[in-house]
Amino acid sequence: MKAFLFFWEVKNRVVKNDLVTYANSLTFKLILAIFPFIIALLAFLGFLSLPTEKITYAIVLDMPKEIGEMMSHYISEVLEKRSISLLSSSAIIAIYSASAGFHTMIKGVCNCYDINENRGFFKTRLIGLLLMLLFVFVIIAILYIVIFWDIINSFLIKIGVFEKIPHFITTLVTHSIVAVAIVIFLVSLYKFAISIKLKIKCLLPGVFFTIISWFIVSKLFNIYISNFSKYSVIYGSIGAIFVFGIWLFLLSFLILMGAQINAIINDKKFMEEIGIKKG
């Protein structure tokens, strides 16, 4: 009964705080940012002469199949150009669009807590920019881990640490590191997006909800697109853009849902009403 009341309250507050609208706005701004960001990142990686197939694998690792195929085409194209002007212009566009997207995310998270943002336009923009840079750092770290993990694996075998590292262990280690990087990003987002101070343990329920939901939604969405959807027959190759937008919307909405869950858990009055005492 307590669980039912809790999730009913989550549903009510999602509607009341208009999180779908915030997720729509965030999705639009992230779409504007993500392609320039990927182009800038790939333009930078192109100067490092890294293996194209490993870069492609790292970027499309957890994407639905059709989206991954679309991204693979752009990756190989940009890596071949190695243009400084492409790198600089793409970086500027990506930073501006992404910071605007994270500013929208901050407003959405504040709305979950019923907080009026009073930190000023420039301060919230700066926080959005810093969160965006942390997001970029996490993405680069993930790419570095995935791209160079085989080299690290071979080095450990060569120096005799392991005679042979089973594939499932390397997969488990890389995915665990990726999960930790995502946890760090989400904790930072939920903590600094609002002006009130919350302990990290108060943010973990929303973080774990978001990560688990991301994984489940991505897998189910991948299955649906691969087996049931006939969008490619109707829209052709441009259908991948629609798929990407829907997928990104779901991820954006789940981020805000995680913030809303944290807000309800930290609402002592409501928790006591349903019989759960908060210390």
* Total length of the chain: 279
Annotated domain spans of the chain = 18-273
Query: Which residue from 111, 267, 262, 110 is spatially nearest to 195, judged by alpha carbons?
Result: 110
> Under 8 Å CB-to-CB from 240, ≥6 apart: which residues?
66, 67, 69, 70, 232
Quote the CA–CA distance of 174 and 172 in Å, as a whole number.
Answer: 6
Distance of CA 97 to the CA centre of its chain: 16
Quote the CA–CA distance of 231 and 238 in Å, as a whole number.
Answer: 9
* 274: three-class secondary structure by DSSP: coil
DSSP 158-197: HTTS-S---HHHHHHHHHHHHHHHHHHHHHHHHHHSSSS-
- pTM attached to this predicted model: 0.73
Q: What is the pLDDT along the chain (279 residues), one digit of tens a residue?
A: 677 788 888 888 888 988 999 888 888 887 777 777 767 776 776 666 666 666 666 666 656 566 666 667 666 666 666 667 766 777 787 777 777 778 888 888 888 888 877 777 777 778 888 887 787 777 666 666 666 666 666 766 676 666 666 767 777 777 787 788 888 889 988 998 888 888 888 899 999 999 888 878 877 776 776 665 555 555 555 666 677 778 788 888 999 999 999 999 888 777 777 776 655
